[in-house]
Amino acid sequence: MDSSSNGSTGEGSHDFARARRIVKTDEFSSVFRLRPAQKSAHFVLYTRQNQLPHARLGVVVAKRLAPRAVTRNTIKRLTRELFRTTGLPAIDCVVRLSKAVNTKADPATNAKLKALLRIELARLFATQAKARR
């Protein structure tokens, strides 16, 4: 399942190789220092231009906002999938969960909430794809 072995980092590529990830603390910090680019009901998106030929993504899902690992993983998976399929310019994006998603009434693994989160994330990425062109 590891797609980093194909080495592809071309525009429009559907992989999520290490080169497309923000992994170092100082890389996250440099994006967080900037004002949030966009907010939605559950997420805050921070962006910054980068000098690479592709966009990179970092995802922050705090345990206090999503106590169950299955919920955090679901959110990360959705975020990565939408990031891969949205043609973003050369920017660093950090998506941070900003509102709790695990309520007894609405667990994040619930299909209705998953669809809502997918729509929110798609809108966040779409605004960046348009704004940066």
Q: Which residues contact 13 (CB under 8 A, 6 or more apart)?
A: 54, 84
Residues 44-103 have pLDDT tens digits of 999 888 888 888 999 999 999 988 888 899 999 999 999 988 888 888 899 999 999 876
* Predicted pLDDT of residue 50: 87
How many Cα atoms within 13 Å fall on the side-chain side of residue 88?
30
* Predicted pLDDT of residue 1: 40
pLDDT above 70: residue 5: no
Q: Which two tokens stand for residue 4?
A: 């980093």
The pLDDT confidence band at residue 31, using thresholds 50, 70 and 90, is: confident
Q: What is the mean pLDDT of residues 25-38?
A: 80
Q: Who has greater pLDDT, 6 or 107?
A: 107
Residues 13-30 have pLDDT tens digits of 445 676 788 888 888 888
SS3 percent helix, strand, coil of the chain, rounded to 5, is 40, 15, 45
